[in-house]
Structure 1
Amino acid sequence: MKAQQIIPILRIFDYQKTIEFYIDWLGFEIVWEHHFEENTPVYMEVKKDNIILHLSEHHGDGTPGSRVFIWAEGIADYHKELIDEKYKYNRPGLEKTFYDAISFTVDDPFGNKVIFNEKVDKEEHKD
């Protein structure tokens, strides 16, 4: 087997809070949304660069409190962008980890955590 893509499914409970957090603050874009009919739970795909998440209001699609661990580049710059937004509900700290990465964690309104990481480059991250 050779995996082509891995897409985590995170449980959400409130469409407006989802948009405020994932779209307006983190900068993801909605790729598509699905409802079986009017006034039913949403299932959506969001993406930022090559990060793709599925977000679902459907019971049984994921457990609140799940974590998504992401390796990326430009973490310090992205962290600064988010802090500069002054989002009312989240001000993550940037840290150096025991596994030689710089990292920050954001907690979504539904108890899920998205952990952004970048391998430490001794020269680039010396400060």
Structure 2
Amino acid sequence: MSLGTVTPILRIFDEGMAREFYVDFLGFQIDWEHRFEDGMPLYMQVSKDGCLLHLSGHFGDCSPGAAIRIATTDVDAYQSELIDKQYKHARPGVKEVPWGGREMSIKDPAGNTLTFYNREPEISA
């Protein structure tokens, strides 16, 4: 028995702002979109490298204001890339945290917090 990866579902309210934030600013790509019919809320998957997120406009799927942590190989390089984009709604900073390491937290347009952190190097057995 083994467990697989986790795919968080994050609530969105404004599709245009969600696309601007996740695609244009964070650099994710849209993998697929789904609506049960025209005029229904959007449910979509976005990805960047090995990170998958589901974004939902449906009331019952999840609550706004969630917090997730996303491992990265170089949070400082990612922060520099984001700052260069001059996104009008966020200028994230990187900070040292008391438990060790460096992190960058950003709120999306729905109030969800994404914290990117330096992944610990894998230890060989």
Match of 2:22 in 1: 22
CA spacing shift, 1:119–1:8, aligned 2, 3 Å: closer
Deviations along 1:24-48, one digit per CA (max 9) or x if unpaired, are 0000000100000011100000000
Question: What SS is found at the alignment partner of 1:47?
Answer: strand
Q: Which amino acid is 2:37 matched to?
A: E
Q: CA deviation at 1:62?
A: 1.2
Q: CA deviation at 1:119?
A: 4.8
Q: Which amino acid is 1:104 matched to?
A: M
Normalising by structure 2, what TM-score? Answer: 0.92
Match of 1:32 in 2: 32
Match of 1:44 in 2: 44
Deviations along 1:44-85, one digit per CA (max 9) or x if unpaired, are 000000000000000011111101111221110000000111
Q: Once superposed, what is the RMSD of the aligned Cα atoms?
A: 1.3
Match of 2:102 in 1: 102
5+ residue gaps, structure 1:
122-127
Identity level (%): 43
Match of 1:64 in 2: 64
Give me the whole-angstrom Cα distance separating, in 2, the residues matched to 1:119 and 1:14: 31
Q: Structure 1 stretches (4+) deviating beyond 4 angstroms?
A: none
CA contact (8 A) 1:102 1:120 kept: no
Match of 1:79 in 2: 79
5+ residue gaps, structure 2:
none
Normalising by structure 1, what TM-score? Answer: 0.91
Matched pairs, number: 121
The more displaced of 40-49 and 63-72 is 63-72
Q: Which amino acid is 1:105 matched to?
A: S
Question: What SS is found at the alignment partner of 1:33?
Answer: strand
